[in-house]
C-alpha cells in the first residue's frame, strides 16, 4: 500500500469521502445530482412568475372591476412562491443527518475464528477480524437489528441507512430525492414536507384563480367559455400545468402525511411493512406530528469547515504482505500512516529499513510469481527475495523489532545447513502462530554453491 507523508491540515469538506458537493466554503452541502435543483427551481418559479405577471396585467387593465381585490391575490401568490423556493433550498442545501464514518473498523469483542455466515466480511479489508453483520438494539421495548456498514466502517444507528447515491449513512433515512438533489433524513425531512405541501397549495391556488380570470373574461366579453379561453392563453397554460403538477406533489404530500402520522419513513414503509407487524417508533398521531414539526432539529454531526489532517480520513489496508496477513492479529498491525507519531510517543524510532521499504513493488513481484504458476512459500524465497524479505514482529503495543535476512551466500548456506539430512535432502519445519501449531515440511535439494528452491 502507498505510504502517505505528512499533509497540511485541510478543511473536512475538502477531504470528504462521500459523493456530496460543497459550496460557499463548505457551508452548503448538496448531493451529487445537485443540477436537478435548477430544474426544480425553474418548474416552480416559471409558472409562479407567469401568474404574478398575469395578475399585474389584470390590475393595470382599465376594464378590470374590483381592482382592490387583485392586490391580495398577487401578494399571496408571491409569498407562496417565495416560501416554496425557500423550503426547497433548506431541503437541498443542508446536512440531512450524515453519520460520520470511521477511519478503521471497530475492535471486535467476538472471537476472530468464528465462521458463521453473519460474521463474514464482504470486502475482505481486514480478513483477520470477524464482526457480526447485525446487532440487536432495544428501541421502545422492541428488539431492532442494526446492520454493519462496510463503507462507513460502523454499525448504523436505528433507522439509519446508507445512500448509494451520496455514499453516506444518513440518520432516519427516508429516501434520496432526485428533484431536490439531496438525501431526505432527520435534519431536512421537516423542510421537505413543507416544500411539497407548499407546492401543492401553490398549484391549487394558481389553478383556482386562473379559472377565475378566464370566467371573468367570459362574463366581461359576453362570450362563451371557449372564446374567453382563446383570449387568455396564459391562464389556460397555468390551468393545464397546475392540473398535471398537483397530482404529483399532492399525492406525495398525502403519502408523507400518512407516514408522519404513523411515524414511518419511505424506506421503512416499502421494506418492512409495519401494517403487518408493530411499529416500534409509533408514539401515536399527536406525538408523531409533534416530533416532526415541533421538536428541535438535532445539530449536524459533522463540522465540514473544521481543519483535519488528511491522513485521518485515509483508510489504509495492511502494509504487510498477503501471505502473513491472516496470521497476524489486529494489534500486530503497524500503522505506517502514523509511524512517526508512534515513534515519538513510545520513544522508539521506526527502523529506516521499514520506512524505505517499497511494499508496492514487493506485492507486484509476488503477484507475478503467482501468475507464472511458480510454487511460492513465504518461508522459502529465492536469492533476490531473501534480499527484500523482512520479518515484522511486535513484542508489545509500542515495541517494534525487525530482522532482515542476509543476502550473502554464506548467510543462506548457514541457514539451510541447520537441519540438513545425510542423503542431501533437507527437512525444514515451521510453525505458524495461532490457537494450534501448524507444522509443514518441505524438502529442498541443496546444490554445491547456490541452493535452488523449488
CA-nearest of 35, 78, 37 to 54 is: 78
Confidence (pLDDT) at 228: 84
**Residues 6+ positions from 20 with CB-CB distance below 8 Å:** 29, 30, 31, 32, 166, 168
Q: What is the mean pLDDT of the chain?
A: 73
In this structure, of 53-57, 176-180, 352-356, 407-411, the range with the lowest mean pLDDT score is: 407-411
Rg of the Cα atoms in the chain = 34
- DSSP for 234-275 reads HHHHHHHHHHHHHHHHHHHHHHHHHHHHHT--HHHHHHT-TT
DSSP 14: G
Confidence of residue 217 (pLDDT cuts 50, 70, 90): confident
Predicted pLDDT at 141:
86
CA angle, 111 then 116 then 119, to 5°: 65
pLDDT cut 70: percent of the chain above it: 60
- Burial class for 309, CB neighbours closer than 10 Å (0-12, 13-18, 19+): middle
**DSSP class of 212:** H
| 3-state SS class at 61 | coil
Give the pLDDT confidence score for residue 373 in this predicted structure: 52
CA atoms in the 13 A half-sphere facing the CB of 370: 10
Q: What is the model's pLDDT at position 131?
A: 80
Q: Name the catalytic one among 163, 177, 183, 203.
A: 177
First to last CA, the chain: 29
CA distances from 111 to 130, 132, 355 (A): 7, 11, 32
Q: 427: how many CB neighbours lie within 10 A of its CB? A: 11
pLDDT tops 80 at residue 219: no
Q: Is 10 helix (H, G, I), strand (E, B) or coil?
A: strand
Q: From start to end of 282-354, where are the E strands?
A: 307-308
In this predicted model, what pLDDT tens digit does every residue of 91-123 receive, in sequence order?
A: 999 999 999 999 888 876 543 443 434 444 444
- Alpha-carbon distance of 310 to 288, in angstroms, equals 41
Sign of CA dihedral 152, 158, 163, 166: negative
- pLDDT of 388 higher than 70: no
Q: How many CA atoms lie within 13 A of 177 on its CB side?
A: 26
Question: For the segment 437-449, what is each residue's pLDDT rounded down to a tens digit?
Answer: 343 333 334 334 4
Q: How far apart are CA 17 and CA 101, in angstroms?
A: 9
* 260-280 per-position pLDDT tens digit: 999 999 999 998 777 667 889
* pLDDT (tens digit per residue) in 225-239: 888 888 889 999 999
| Cβ atoms of 346 and 394 closer than 8 Å | no
Residue 301 DSSP label: S
pLDDT digits (tens, 9 = 90+) for 336-352: 333 444 444 444 444 44
Measured CA distances, 151 to 121, 127, 148, 156, 168 (Å): 12, 15, 9, 11, 8
Catalytic residue check, 177? yes
Residue written as grid cell 485515509: 314
d(CA 301, CA 98): 7
Rounded mean pLDDT of 172-190? 97
Residue 9 DSSP code: -
- Beta 161-163 vs 168-170: how paired, if at all? antiparallel
How is the chain split into domains, by residue range?
Answer: 17-102+139-294
In whole angstroms, what is the distance from residue 400 CA to residue 348 CA? Answer: 8
Residue whose grid cell is 489504509: 316
Amino acid at each position: 500500500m502507498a505510504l502517505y507523508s505528512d499533509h497540511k491540515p485541510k478543511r473536512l469538506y475538502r477531504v470528504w469521502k462521500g459523493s456530496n458537493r460543497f459550496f460557499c466554503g463548505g457551508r452548503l452541502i448538496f448531493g451529487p445530482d445537485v443540477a436537478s435543483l435548477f430544474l426544480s427551481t425553474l418548474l416552480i418559479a416559471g409558472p409562479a412568475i407567469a401568474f404574478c405577471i398575469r395578475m399585474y396585467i389584470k390590475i393595470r387593465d382599465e376594464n378590470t372591476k374590483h381592482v382592490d381585490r387583485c392586490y391580495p391575490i398577487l401578494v399571496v401568490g408571491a409569498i407562496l412562491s417565495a416560501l416554496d423556493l425557500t423550503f426547497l433550498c433548506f431541503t437541498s442545501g443542508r446536512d440531512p443527518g450524515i453519520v460520520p464514518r470511521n477511519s478503521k473498523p471497530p475492535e471486535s469483542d467476538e472471537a476472530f475464528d468464528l465462521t458463521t455466515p453473519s460474521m463474514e466480511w464482504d470486502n475482505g479489508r481486514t480478513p483477520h477480524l470477524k464482526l457480526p453483520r447485525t446487532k440487536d438494539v432495544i428501541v421502545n421495548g422492541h428488539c431492532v437489528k442494526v446492520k454493519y456498514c462496510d463503507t462507513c466502517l460502523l454499525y448504523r444507528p436505528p433507522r439509519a441507512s446508507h445512500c448509494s447515491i451520496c455514499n453516506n449513512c444518513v440518520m432516519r433515512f427516508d429516501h434520496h430525492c432526485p428533484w431536490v438533489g439531496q438525501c431526505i433524513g432527520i435534519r431536512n425531512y421537516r423542510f421537505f414536507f413543507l416544500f411539497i405541501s407548499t407546492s401543492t397549495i401553490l398549484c391549487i391556488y394558481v389553478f383556482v384563480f386562473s379559472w377565475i380570470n378566464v370566467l371573468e373574461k367570459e362574463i366581461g366579453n359576453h362570450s362563451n367559455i371557449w372564446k374567453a379561453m382563446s383570449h387568455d392563453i396564459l391562464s389556460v397554460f397555468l390551468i393545464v400545468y397546475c392540473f398535471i403538477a398537483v397530482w404529483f406533489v399532492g399525492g406525495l404530500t398525502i403519502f408523507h402525511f400518512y407516514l408522519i402520522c404513523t411515524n414511518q419513513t419511505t424506506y421503512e414503509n416499502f421494506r418492512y411493512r409495519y401494517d403487518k407487524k408493530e411499529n416500534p417508533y409509533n408514539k401515536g398521531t399527536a406525538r408523531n406530528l409533534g416530533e416532526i414539526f415541533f421538536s428541535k432539529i438535532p445539530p449536524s454531526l459533522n463540522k465540514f469547515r473544521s481543519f483535519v489532517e488528511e491522513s485521518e480520513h485515509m483508510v489504509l489496508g495492511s502494509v504487510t504482505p498477503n501471505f502473513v496477513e491472516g496470521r497476524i492479529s489486529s494489534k500486530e498491525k503497524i500503522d505506517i500512516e502514523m509511524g512517526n507519531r508512534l515513534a515519538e510517543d513510545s520513544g522508539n524510532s521506526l527502523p529506516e529499513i521499514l520506512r524505505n521499504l517499497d511494499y508496492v513493488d514487493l506485492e507486484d513481484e509476488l503477484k507475478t510469481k503467482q501468475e507464472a504458476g511458480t510454487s511460492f512459500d513465504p518461508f522459502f524465497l529465492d536469492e533476490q527475495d531473501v534480499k527484500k524479505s523482512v520479518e515484522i514482529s511486535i513484542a508489545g503495543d509500542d515495541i517494534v523489532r525487525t530482522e532482515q535476512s542476509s543476502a550473502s551466500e554464506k548467510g543462506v548456506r548457514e541457514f539451510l545447513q541447520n537441519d540438513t539430512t545425510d542423503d542431501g535432502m533437507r527437512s525444514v519445519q515451521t510453525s505458524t502462530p495461532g490457537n494450534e501449531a501448524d507444522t509443514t515440511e518441505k524438502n529442498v535439494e541443496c546444490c554445491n554453491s547456490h541452493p535452488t528452491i523449488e
